[in-house]
Chain A
């Protein structure tokens, strides 16, 4: 079936903006000139992520030390090692990772923290990050679960949702919004009458 002559060409992909929006939610949109939307994404997603982090007493974003965990066996992959084993025991980080730079301290702690040999002992704080996003001890988790009034669980749910929403933001930076702006049926008249329309290009004003 022939394409309608009025159909607009597909918008070119913008991988750089997508990468920027991964690093900092909304940064890709700001670079593309959609400043309002970029600021909205940044405020909402960082607000949600750090709100969840605060609800969990700043101890619900981390990657565990795989060496101190029991063996993990996945159906097809077999016995897991390293990062895959850490994610197996802390699957929430798969969602939290997508918030971008804000979740990187957990990766730094995972790579650089030396876990103590004796079980249950707290690791030495990182030189710069301290214990921020460092794997908590089992006793700390038990205390948070027992005394946290469900806030610790609610907190990690918020951080995971913030990361998952940023995947949509990354896609918006890469390929534009899901619903494309309609073509004006009669640009000569609609330019004068349609509010929010850019008179020079005939396209709708963007955030």
Chain B
């Protein structure tokens, strides 16, 4: 089995992810459509964040000799993501 999935505690994380997202979103809104939309957003963000860290650690442990290139590639991806998101925020809303 892939060592990333062999550790049992990872299988319990979706419970925490779903519960946290739903409860946190429900304390911010009263309308169900907004609660569900925000909770889905939180689920995606948290899962992406944890997933990126997990994949990064797995790749680094599998290919330890290439860590400078992998770290550089990760940094470049982060900078592109940051640039794209900051561009999106600067765009004025359509009239």
Contact = CB atoms under 8 A, between A and B. Distances in A.
Contact of A207 (B9, B16, B30): B30
A184 to B, nearest CB: 13
The binding surface of chain A is classed by DSSP as helix
B20 interface: yes
A44 B19 contact: yes
Contacts of B26: 37, 40-41, 172, 177, 207
A45 interface: yes
Contact of A161 (B12, B16, B35): B16
B32 A177 contact: no
B33 to A, nearest CB: 7
A179 B29 contact: yes
A1 interface: no
Contacts of A165: 19-20, 23-24
Contacts of B8: 149-151
A207 B35 contact: yes
B88 interface: no
Contact of A169 (B23, B31, B35): B23
Interface residues of B, number: 21
Contacts of A172: 26-27
B66 to A, nearest CB: 29
Interface in A167-207: 168-169, 171-172, 176-179, 181, 196, 204-207
A58 interface: no
Contacts of B35: 37, 207
Interface in B1-26: 7-9, 12, 15-16, 19-20, 22-24, 26
B19 A178 contact: no
Contacts of B9: 149-151, 154
A48 interface: yes
A165 B34 CA distance: 19
Given A44-B22, A151-B9, A168 B30 contact: no
Interface in B25-79: 26-35
Given A37-B26, A154-B12, A172-B26, A206 B31 contact: yes
A136 B22 CA distance: 33
Interface string A149-171: 11100100010011001001101
17 contacts: A40-B22, A41-B23, A41-B26, A44-B19, A149-B9, A150-B7, A150-B8, A158-B15, A161-B20, A165-B23, A168-B27, A177-B29, A178-B27, A179-B28, A179-B29, A181-B30, A207-B32
Interface of B: 7-9, 12, 15-16, 19-20, 22-24, 26-35
Interface of A: 34, 36-37, 40-41, 44-45, 47-48, 51, 55, 149-151, 154, 158, 161-162, 165, 168-169, 171-172, 176-179, 181, 196, 204-207
